[in-house]
Amino acid sequence: MQITANIDENIKNIEEYLHIEQNFDLIFREFYIGPQKAALYFVDGTGDTTVMTEMMKFFMSNNGVPQNQPFDSQKFTEHFLPFGEIVKQPDFEKAATAILAGMFVLFIDQITDAYIIDAKSFPQRDVGEPDKDKVIRGSRDGFVEIPVFNAALIRRRIRDPNLILEAVEVGEQSKSQVVMCYIKGKCDEVFLDKLHGKLKNMKVQALTMNQETLAEHLIKPKWYNPYPQFRYSERPDTTSAAILQGSIVILTDNSPAAMILPSKFIDFFNEANDYYFPPMTGCYFRIVRLMVALLSFLLTPLWLTVSYHPEIVPEALKFVLISDPVPTPLWLQLLIIDFVFEAMRISSINTPSSLGNAMSIVGALLVGDFAVKSGWMSSETVFYMAFISVAMYVQPNFELGYALKFFRIFLIIMIAFLDYWGLFIGLVVIALISASTRTVEGRGYFFPILPLNIKQFFGYLGRGRLRR
């Protein structure tokens, strides 16, 4: 539907379309610019009131506005709208959507265009250090929930004319702004076109869960495959580095995290903090993350297997076995403690912050001490599971930690019923799932581990010098 030259008709249409009378936060003001009737619409709390005040003063002062001749849209824009971000919009629905997006929209009699004035000023928190992506050394700024501010933080670090920040509207009802960030000529153009097409043609009512909704529509997840397909970061330096390396970053409205894609398994072990220390220290951090992640996955299944067959354990390593056996099956001990630790973690999230640390410590001490003294659990089981629980958070990606957790539980159950054959079959199943996993662009998820490429593997694992 097009905007008409009759402003009364436009006012009637916009009031019916947006249900102005029923929405308390939709504000409109009718006034005159010279001889012409005008109407200004905006959402209360989303616009810069200073800009609105100055704009109203200018319009109502009749400053240079022609009195005896009809308005010309182009001349009016050039001479009588002294604001930077102004777009003429002849489409009625798009103008209405702009109002809901937090912009000022001006209708003028005899002009078949609406003037969209971008003076958004949403309620927001200050740009500060993200809670999840902790900064050891480096800039302390972090992303917020507004894409334009996040884009500015990226522009501040990458002043390349080939840096493209392309906005796409996603969601038939939410009409959420999704921004694709990439360097033209450095990213995979085929994957870029495919991604752009998916976003433009995405049939979704709203991005209810922000990037998670977007992710599940970009790729169809398999229920048996827990591997994360996307990396998330709330740090502008990490995101900018990924863009410079040829990745595509997606910023979503109402989300303080940037989605980095494509992402392989080994990418999840890299952190921006590695580059704020000397190369040897950065390499050490990456090796520790990878080794601890491997231990969190294999430690308890291997320990369970050798506990069933203590004769294969060398004498020097007998200390790893259970010294005081308890009646509870060992595999059941591992699962119970894993469940209890997970319950305490979830409860700590919902506990008031003033009591969170205290409750976690008290809960862990009481549960662990009682379980051992009562004879339900062995002390070795509690110790190994405590290490596993801590090791889960060594690598920076939360989703990858749970993927390793699910595979570990699967191995423990297989060993419980099939002994060492369960370990073998379980590892084969996990290897097949891993080998069949693909990134969002269709390449091997575990490259350069599967297939093995020694040079590129050490290139990923090692923290190279910052020569460029």
Comparing CA positions, the residue from 43, 24, 27, 32 lying closest to residue 7 is 32
Between CA 156 and CA 167, with CA 162 as vertex, the angle to 5 degrees is 75
Comparing CA positions, the residue from 248, 231, 232 lying closest to residue 188 is 248
Q: How confident is the model at residue 275 (pLDDT cuts 50, 70, 90)?
A: confident
Instruction: Quote the pLDDT of residue 302.
Output: 93
Which of 34-48, 188-202, 366-380 has the highest average model confidence (pLDDT)? Answer: 188-202
CA–CA dist 382, 403 (Å, integer): 22
**Tens digits of per-residue pLDDT, 201-249?**
888 888 877 778 888 888 877 888 899 988 998 888 889 888 988 899 9
Between CA 215 and CA 222, with CA 221 as vertex, the angle to 5 degrees is 170
* Mean pLDDT lowest among 20-34, 191-205, 431-445: 20-34
Domain map (residue ranges) of the chain: 7-117, 147-263, 275-459
Instruction: Quote the pLDDT of residue 299.
Output: 92
- If you average pLDDT over every residue of the chain, what do you get? 82
Task: Report percent pLDDT > 70 for the chain.
Answer: 86
* Mean pLDDT lowest among 115-129, 134-148, 175-189: 115-129
Comparing CA positions, the residue from 382, 344, 338 lying closest to residue 361 is 344
Q: Which residue type does 57 have?
A: K
**If you write DSSP's letter for every residue of 310-357 in order, what string do you get?**
GGGS-GGGGGGS-SS--SS-HHHHHHHHHHHHHHHHHHHHHS-HHHHH
What secondary structure letter does DSSP report for 85?
Answer: S
> Which residue is associated with the tokens 């992402």?
263
CA–CA dist 428, 422 (Å, integer): 10
Helix (H) or strand (E) holding 87: strand 86-89
CA–CA dist 63, 84 (Å, integer): 18
Instruction: Quote the pLDDT of residue 414.
Output: 95
Instruction: Quote the pLDDT of residue 459.
Output: 74
Residue pair 423/301 in contact (Cβ under 8 Å)? The answer is yes
**If you write DSSP's letter for every residue of 102-120 in order, what string do you get?**
T-EEEEETT-SSEEEE--B
